[in-house]
């Protein structure tokens, strides 16, 4: 009998524990712990409403990527616009990208180019590279390889790997400049050293063909392998 009573008491304790756990879950559902970044968002909004460009930019980023707030391209674009109008280069570049991809607004290459130019003139390397791309493809402006190469050069000189790779391609094919394999290899090398897979593949090809450097199948294989390890299909083919 004593054992039965002990067993019954233990079962009651287990049931009580389960009920308490369920109650705790219910309380958590109805009264969740406030997110830790609520205070940050309030402070950022206050600063943004006071005209602080950095806060406006940060709010734009949070709305664009759904960081601590629901993702909202329209809100992101509005905050980028406020910061961009104050001359914030990063906001100008990000606003240009919103126009370029039609996020939170109708797509407009002309507006994208306008904002990229504002940021590029302030030395924003990413904006310089993107402006070069727009000149290269004639998006929102007449196609102009010379202008494309000039903006790629500005960004490449700041270490932008995408611009370095694209500038190498311009030298390789003689677009907007005389063809120069040695210069192409030099810029491919810079981008490849930063881990740019396409540049690694192109550098491998230069070694394979002996363009701008002594032919070396061993070096070619090494660079193809680096690119292939990153999933570059062209390098995997070689």
12 pLDDT above the threshold of 80: no
- Enter the tokens of residue 75: 């809100």
CA distance 111 to 113: 5
Q: Is residue 93 part of a domain?
A: yes
Q: Is residue 164 part of a domain?
A: no
Q: Is residue 197 part of a domain?
A: no
2 pLDDT above the threshold of 60: no
Measure the CA angle with vertex 44, ends 43 and 50; round to 5°: 95
Q: How many domains does the chain have?
A: 1
Q: Is residue 79 part of a domain?
A: yes
What is the domain extent for residue 53?
45-122
CA quadruple 109, 113, 114, 115: dihedral sign: positive
Q: Is residue 107 part of a domain?
A: yes
Q: Is residue 1 part of a domain?
A: no
The total number of residues shown for the chain amounts to 238
The confidence band for 30, taking pLDDT boundaries of 50, 70 and 90, is: very low
CB-based contact 222:208 (threshold 8 Å)? no
Lowest-confidence range among 1-10, 140-149, 170-179? 1-10
Q: Is residue 76 part of a domain?
A: yes
The confidence band for 108, taking pLDDT boundaries of 50, 70 and 90, is: very high
* Mean of the per-residue pLDDT values of the chain: 88
CB-based contact 181:206 (threshold 8 Å)? yes
Q: Is residue 182 part of a domain?
A: no
* pTM of the full structure: 0.80
Q: Kindly report the CATH number assigned to the domain that includes residue 53.
A: 1.25.40.10
24 pLDDT above the threshold of 90: no
Query: What pLDDT, on a 0 to 100 scale, did the predictor assign at position 11?
Result: 62
* CA-based max dimension of the chain: 101
């Amino acid at each position: 009998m004593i054992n039965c009573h002990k067993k019954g008491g233990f079962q009651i304790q287990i049931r009580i524990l389960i009920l308490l756990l369920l109650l705790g879950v219910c309380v958590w559902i109805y009264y969740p712990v406030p997110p830790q970044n609520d205070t940050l968002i309030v402070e950022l909004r206050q600063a943004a409403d006071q005209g602080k460009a950095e806060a406006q930019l940060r709010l734009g980023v949070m709305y664009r990527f759904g960081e601590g707030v629901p993702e909202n391209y329209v809100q992101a674009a509005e905050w980028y616009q406020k910061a961009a109008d104050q001359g914030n280069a990063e906001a100008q570049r990000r606003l240009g990208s919103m126009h370029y991809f039609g996020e939170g607004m109708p797509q407009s290459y002309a507006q994208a180019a306008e904002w990229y130019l504002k940021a590029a003139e302030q030395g924003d390397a990413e904006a310089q590279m993107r402006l070069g791309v727009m000149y290269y493809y004639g998006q929102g402006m007449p196609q102009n390889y010379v202008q494309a190469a000039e903006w790629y050069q500005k960004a490449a000189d700041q270490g932008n790997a995408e611009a370095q790779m694209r500038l190498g391609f311009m030298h390789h094919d003689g677009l907007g400049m005389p063809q120069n394999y040695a210069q192409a290899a030099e810029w491919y090398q810079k981008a490849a050293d930063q881990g740019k897979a396409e540049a690694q593949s192109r550098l491998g090809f230069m070694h394979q063909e002996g363009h701008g450097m002594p032919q070396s199948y061993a070096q070619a294989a090494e660079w193809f392998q680096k690119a292939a390890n990153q999933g570059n299909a062209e390098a995997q083919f070689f």
